[in-house]
């Protein structure tokens, strides 16, 4: 079970839905799934972290990374049914003094276990994570990991409170930006500025890009599609590489669609289309699209021929033709023009029959 970064590029509704879904994943679940209140569970986690930190000292360790495969082997004997056989996403990484490096891969481990909430109680899940921390990490890093776990649980709870308090989903970019700013502040209040930046900088820059693109779409409503694409490319320059690559892929597809439409409206030749596509997506992809154009053109010609033959047949039958006569005509023509059952269904649907 791997947790992918949320990808939001496009209109207001997609960004709104995506952002609130992200918040909802962090929202604390109803209290009837565990015996203690969320506040009690969080307080206990902080107390546990303090006890470990009091005994933590820096040491030099040989194994600086404990990856997902090793962690899964340590955890698998205690996993619930829903996680058996799944892939754990994340890792614990240590610095030269054996201290835990605070980074998103650690939080992904917590989220992996939290995905079973409802199947197991919150206390059971937290105990499972703590057992993994104590089995996987040297003493020098256990206090750091326990503290990060407590902060993560606190974060989930406060995100849940924020989402519940906000009521209906924000209806415009200003409301969404306000909620986003509240999220950022909660993160820094809980994790501290440095760790919040380490954990969420990429995600926050991506969300800021989406908010800025929404505002851009609103303020430059009169721009052409190609002008909009150019503006979005300029906004994406400062994105982290992984997000910038995703945005660029989507912008290239939009540009390809728009330039193809414009060229076809101008009755451009196949060669002109090929040259444009090569410039955007390379020779191989351009050739594949060229072949697809040929296939689509051939299919459309077959549909046009079928439609003409059908109209010709109706004219020959005349106004007195019965429903059975028309059905026999259709079946006869489909037998001539279609090469398979699936084609018969497609052709009949395209004729509106």
Task: Give the DSSP per-residue string, 185-241.
Answer: HHHHHHH-HHHHHHHHHHHHHHHHHHHHHHHHHHHTTTS-HHHHHHHHHHHGGGS-H
Whether residue 247 is found in the same domain as residue 294: no
pLDDT, one tens digit for every residue, the chain (353 residues): 433 332 333 333 334 444 444 444 444 343 333 456 778 888 888 877 777 777 666 555 555 666 667 776 777 677 788 888 887 888 888 888 889 999 999 999 999 989 988 888 888 889 888 888 888 888 888 899 999 999 999 998 898 888 776 655 556 788 888 888 999 999 999 999 999 999 999 999 999 999 988 888 887 777 888 998 899 999 898 888 888 888 999 999 999 999 999 999 999 998 999 999 999 889 988 888 888 888 888 998 999 999 899 889 888 888 887 888 888 888 898 888 888 888 888 888 887 76
Whether residue 46 is found in the same domain as residue 180: yes
Whether residue 118 is found in the same domain as residue 171: yes
Question: What is the distance, to the nearest Å, from the Cα of residue 201 to the centroid of all Cα atoms in its chain?
Answer: 17
The count of structural domains within the chain is: 3
Domain membership flag for residue 25: yes
The pLDDT value given to residue 189 = 96
Of 200, 228, 248, the last residue of a domain is: 200
Domain membership flag for residue 7: no
Task: Provide the domain limits for residue 312.
Answer: 270-350
Whether residue 115 is found in the same domain as residue 51: yes
Domain membership flag for residue 91: yes
Whether residue 75 is found in the same domain as residue 168: yes
The pLDDT value given to residue 41 = 80
State both tokens at 89: 């996403």
Using an 8 Å Cβ cutoff, are 314 and 321 in contact? yes
Whether residue 18 is found in the same domain as residue 44: yes
Beta carbons within 8 Å of 3's beta carbon, 6+ residues apart? 89, 108, 111, 112
Domain membership flag for residue 4: no
Stretch (H or E) spanning 274: helix 270-281
Domain membership flag for residue 95: yes
The pLDDT value given to residue 60 = 54
Domain membership flag for residue 189: yes
Domain membership flag for residue 76: yes
Domain membership flag for residue 213: no
CA distances to 32, 131, 163, 191 from 37, rounded to whole Å, are: 9, 21, 18, 22
Whether residue 34 is found in the same domain as residue 179: yes
Q: Identify the DSSP state of 266.
A: T
Of 168, 200, 232, the last residue of a domain is: 200
Whether residue 133 is found in the same domain as residue 189: yes
Whether residue 32 is found in the same domain as residue 174: yes
Whether residue 91 is found in the same domain as residue 196: yes
3-class secondary structure, 21: helix
Whether residue 278 is found in the same domain as residue 298: yes
Q: Which contacts (CB < 8 Å, 24+ apart) does range 223-229 have?
A: 225/254, 225/258, 226/255, 226/258, 226/259, 229/254, 229/255, 229/258
The pLDDT value given to residue 5 = 31
**Full-model pTM:** 0.65
Whether residue 227 is found in the same domain as residue 196: no
Of 200, 231, 256, the last residue of a domain is: 200
Using an 8 Å Cβ cutoff, are 331 and 310 in contact? no
The pLDDT value given to residue 81 = 86
């Amino acid at each position: 079970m791997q947790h992918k970064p949320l990808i939001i590029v496009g209109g207001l509704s997609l960004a709104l839905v995506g952002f609130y879904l992200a918040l909802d994943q962090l929202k604390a679940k109803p209290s009837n799934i565990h015996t203690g209140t969320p506040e009690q569970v969080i307080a206990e986690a902080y107390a546990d972290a303090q006890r470990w930190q009091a005994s933590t000292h820096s040491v030099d360790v040989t194994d600086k990374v404990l990856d997902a495969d090793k962690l899964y082997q340590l955890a698998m004997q205690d996993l619930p049914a829903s996680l058996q056989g799944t892939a754990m996403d994340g890792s614990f990484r240590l610095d030269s003094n054996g201290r835990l490096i605070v980074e998103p891969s650690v939080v992904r481990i917590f989220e992996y276990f939290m995905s079973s909430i409802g199947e197991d109680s919150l206390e059971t899940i937290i105990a499972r994570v703590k057992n993994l921390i104590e089995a996987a990490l040297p003493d020098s890093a256990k206090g750091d990991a326990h503290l990060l776990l407590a902060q993560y649980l606190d974060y989930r709870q406060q995100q849940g409170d924020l989402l519940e308090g906000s009521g209906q989903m924000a209806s415009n970019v200003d409301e969404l930006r306000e909620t986003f700013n509240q999220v950022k502040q909660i993160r820094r209040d809980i994790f501290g500025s440095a760790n919040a930046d380490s954990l969420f900088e990429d995600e926050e820059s991506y969300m800021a890009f989406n908010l800025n693109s929404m505002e851009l779409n609103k303020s430059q409503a009169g721009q052409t599609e190609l002008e909009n694409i150019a503006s979005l490319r300029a906004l994406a320059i400062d994105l982290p590489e992984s997000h910038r690559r995703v945005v660029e892929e989507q912008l290239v597809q939009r540009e390809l669609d728009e330039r193809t439409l414009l060229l076809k409206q101008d009755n451009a030749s196949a060669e002109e289309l090929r040259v444009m596509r090569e410039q955007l997506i390379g020779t191989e992809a351009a050739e594949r699209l060229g072949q697809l154009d040929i296939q689509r053109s051939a299919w459309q010609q077959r549909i046009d021929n079928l439609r003409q033959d059908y109209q010709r047949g109706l004219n020959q039958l005349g106004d007195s033709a019965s429903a059975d006569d028309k059905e026999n005509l259709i079946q006869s023509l489909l037998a001539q023009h279609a090469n398979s059952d699936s084609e018969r269904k497609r052709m009949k649907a395209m004729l509106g029959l």
